[in-house]
Structure 1
Amino acid sequence: MTDLDLVLMTRDHDSVDSVAQQAVRAENHGFSHVTMGETTGWNILPVLTVIAERTEDIGITDDVLSPYSRAPTVVGQSALTMHDVTDGRFRLGLGTSSPAIAEGWHAQSFDRPLRRLRETIDVIREVYAGGDVDYDGEIFDVGGLSYEGTVPDDPPAVDVAALGPKAAELAGRFADGWIPQLFTHDGLADRMADLHRGAELGDRDPSALRVSPIVRCYASEDRERARSTVRQMVAFLLGAYGPFYGDSVAEQGYEAEVEEIRGAWEERDTAAMAEALPDELLDAVAAAGTPDEVRERVEQFAAVDGVSAVRVGFASGMTQEAKETTLDALGELTG
């Protein structure tokens, strides 16, 4: 049995009801958690509240909140509220976000992102502790007030989405879980060493960390369509979606491929971007093909030492029928 989470692609839904229905499908297929991201679309916390009301057992998390989007006390306050709304099923996800979102949407300077993330976690822990928050950091100076609600004995776990070695070390040292994306099996194992080093620095048990890599999945008997769709999305993430994913994959041994994909993006040639992404790289970071192939690749990710669950992400351009076929295929792993 493999623990699977489902990443809900909010931009593929025109109503909160539609998103909630997808979450119910994930629960019916035996998925462990559902999660969804927040950029410039819906505020995801109300949407997650609707999902909580429509489901019974599945875990609920966010993928992920930016520390530039809310004061750290408000993030802690929101997490405790979601704990109550979900009857304890909520995990809080944080990440450094990107310059485009921090500056273009939240009107914040993308300055010292790792320090801001670390201090955000510190303040959240103080909110969780009850009593007055008293924190004097390099970025945040907060104090004098406390959370007015009842603080539970088991407040929401804090997960960190991270790519680089220092960020993974931070996750191991201060958070409860790590959410990587676009890692090969070898790259994931290598970065796990940074995560575990952080846990040791924080005098924490590395095996207690929930590691849940995001893997883009598309299972179909139309193998080439599945692979073409996922190839286009992975190429876009590497070449056009900011520098971080491309830099990370380049450091995992694919520097020439990432450079070619980025060159094609400079010409806004999305077809050339996809053509520049070889089968070897596609299969190393994603799971696209027949149902049997997708199950096999997801199981390979799940088998990496230290991985707790695989977060199944879809690809842009998939129909609802294709998503349901993929859910059906992967649901066999959860039983």
Structure 2
Amino acid sequence: MDIGVVLQCDPPALRLVDLAVRAEALGFSHVWTFDSHLLWQEPFVIHSAILGATRKVTVGPMVTNPANRDWTVIASTFATLNDLYGNRSICGIGRGDSAVRTLNGKPATLATLREAIHVIRELANSRYADYGGRRLRFPWSHGSELELWVAAYGPKALELTGQVADGYILQLGDPDIAAWTIGRVREAAEASGRDPMAIKFCVAAPAYVTKDNSPESMALARDQCRWFGGMVGNHVADLVKRYGTEGEVPAALTDYVVGRAGYDYNDHGKVGTSHTDYVPDEIVDRFCILGTPADHLAKLEVLRQIGVDQFAVYLQHNDKRATLESYGENIIPALHPPVQAIEDITSTHLQSEAAISNPHSR
């Protein structure tokens, strides 16, 4: 399993670059950022700085949308980053939330999202795309490669993901809900003639590493991550309006938003927000990964077994560097068992001889 990190574009931007460089040194595979240009700094400028300061990590938004920027501009940005830094960009995309709602706009329709994904993918992969009644291609782009990963919760968006996406992003860490969403995406992929196992799956959620499981340690971790339950609840509220609480969306995802009173985008993604009083400890524990390194590894193993390829750590709390360090020192190495430098050739030789002498054993 890969481990990524998700950063807010809070100033100063150089701090994000510094965190990204440290994340790469500690073994993180991806650096993602929020994309909400009114609330935070412009992410694609920061992406270029991160890519220029690193060598291996893949960098992109979690997530952009087709409403704020012209699709050809989005594609051109990624193709340019790939030309500069060697195909290390990735596009997380969804219908749009804070980036459009703060401007009194509305999220894109699924039909618009589908069309935008096609145009961005073709242009950013150095191919032709039909757009605005014209056949277009970047004449300067050669060999650019870009994957598009769709963030979604609802049944129709999950169906779209299975039909068109290279990857799927679930912004919560509950294994039961993850299993349901992954299943829906794979079903849609198979029904549309795609290989369901070719789609990559990313679970993104806050992670807070504690020294122990004392009530005091766990209370601090929950308070630092409760904002996430409010953010997810804001998305889920739209699903409840569309499908109700008795529909096909799991109750484990929808039931807790009954007490939701509203959402203030001025506090979007912030610790100690005013709109999370309705989020119980149980939701924080389910949606996030909290506790000792052993607790994190145990939950990550459950996620891996249901098909999750990457866990992306939302790093919005008061212990950013300690979390990075703990993942780099204790968790990432444990997810990748070491390869032996010297193999037991005696055992291997004996096994080979046995196979030769007894061909029916093969």
Q: In the alignment, what sits opposite 1:288?
A: 290
Q: 1:171 to 1:240 in 2, by over 3 A?
A: closer
**Cα RMSD, aligned residues only:** 3.0
- Counterpart secondary structure, 1:38: coil
1:146 equivalent in alignment to 2:137: yes
- Correspondent of 2:221 among 223, 226, 234: 226
- Counterpart secondary structure, 1:34: strand
Percent pairwise identity: 24
- Correspondent of 1:19 among 16, 29, 43: 16
**Alignment check: 8 A CA contact 2:72 2:119 kept:** yes
Q: In the alignment, what sits opposite 1:138?
A: none
Report the Cα distance in structure 1 between the residues aligned to 2:251 and 2:192, rounded to whole angstroms: 30
Q: 1:80 to 1:20 in 2, by over 3 A?
A: same
Q: Deviations over 1:266-302 (max 9, x none)?
A: 9x996894475143x3322211122322232233222
Q: In the alignment, what sits opposite 2:122?
A: 126
Q: In the alignment, what sits opposite 1:33?
A: 30
Q: 1:120 to 1:240 in 2, by over 3 A?
A: closer
Q: Deviations over 1:209-258 (max 9, x none)?
A: 1111112100022333112322x223322455783488899743244432
Report the Cα distance in structure 2 between the residues aligned to 1:145 and 1:64, rounded to whole angstroms: 25
Q: In the alignment, what sits opposite 2:299?
A: 297
Report the Cα distance in structure 2 between the residues aligned to 1:142 and 1:126, rounded to whole angstroms: 16
Q: 1:46 to 1:142 in 2, by over 3 A?
A: farther
Report the Cα distance in structure 2 between the residues aligned to 1:125 and 1:270, rounded to whole angstroms: 37
- Counterpart secondary structure, 1:213: strand
Q: CA deviation at 1:150?
A: 2.6
Q: Deviations over 1:134-168 (max 9, x none)?
A: 24xxxxx341543121331x621111111111111
Report the Cα distance in structure 1 between the residues aligned to 2:76 and 2:165, rounded to whole angstroms: 17
- Counterpart secondary structure, 1:147: coil
- Counterpart secondary structure, 1:115: helix
**Alignment check: 8 A CA contact 1:127 1:146 kept:** yes
**Alignment check: 8 A CA contact 1:220 1:325 kept:** no
- Counterpart secondary structure, 2:90: strand
Which stretch of the first structure deviates more once superposed, 20-29 or 125-134?
125-134
- Correspondent of 1:188 among 178, 185, 189: 178
Q: CA deviation at 1:67?
A: 0.6
Q: 1:326 to 1:237 in 2, by over 3 A?
A: farther
Q: Deviations over 1:38-82 (max 9, x none)?
A: 102222111111111111112222211111111112222112112
Report the Cα distance in structure 1 between the residues aligned to 2:221 and 2:114, rounded to whole angstroms: 39
Q: CA deviation at 1:187?
A: 1.5
1:277 equivalent in alignment to 2:272: no
Amino acid paired to 1:296? A
Q: In the alignment, what sits opposite 1:308?
A: 309
Which stretch of the first structure deviates more once superposed, 321-330 or 82-91?
321-330
Q: 1:147 to 1:202 in 2, by over 3 A?
A: farther
Q: In the alignment, what sits opposite 1:236?
A: 230
**Alignment check: 8 A CA contact 1:4 1:334 kept:** no
**Alignment check: 8 A CA contact 1:216 1:287 kept:** yes
Report the Cα distance in structure 2 between the residues aligned to 1:111 and 1:324, rounded to whole angstroms: 33
Q: CA deviation at 1:191?
A: 1.5
1:75 equivalent in alignment to 2:59: no
Q: 1:131 to 1:233 in 2, by over 3 A?
A: closer
Q: 1:270 to 1:131 in 2, by over 3 A?
A: closer
Amino acid paired to 1:292? A
Report the Cα distance in structure 2 between the residues aligned to 1:19 and 1:249, rounded to whole angstroms: 39
Structure 2: which 5+ runs fail to align? 212-216, 337-362
Report the Cα distance in structure 1 between the residues aligned to 2:83 and 2:210, rounded to whole angstroms: 39
**Alignment check: 8 A CA contact 2:23 2:324 kept:** no
**Alignment check: 8 A CA contact 1:215 1:287 kept:** yes
1:216 equivalent in alignment to 2:214: no
- Counterpart secondary structure, 2:32: strand
Which stretch of the first structure deviates more once superposed, 291-300 or 46-55?
291-300
Q: 1:252 to 1:326 in 2, by over 3 A?
A: farther
Amino acid paired to 2:230? F
Q: In the alignment, what sits opposite 2:349?
A: none
Q: 1:237 to 1:246 in 2, by over 3 A?
A: farther
TM-score (norm 1): 0.83
Report the Cα distance in structure 2 between the residues aligned to 1:131 and 1:3, rounded to whole angstroms: 29
The structure with more radius of gyration: 2
Question: How many residue pairs align between the two structures?
Answer: 317
Amino acid paired to 1:77? S
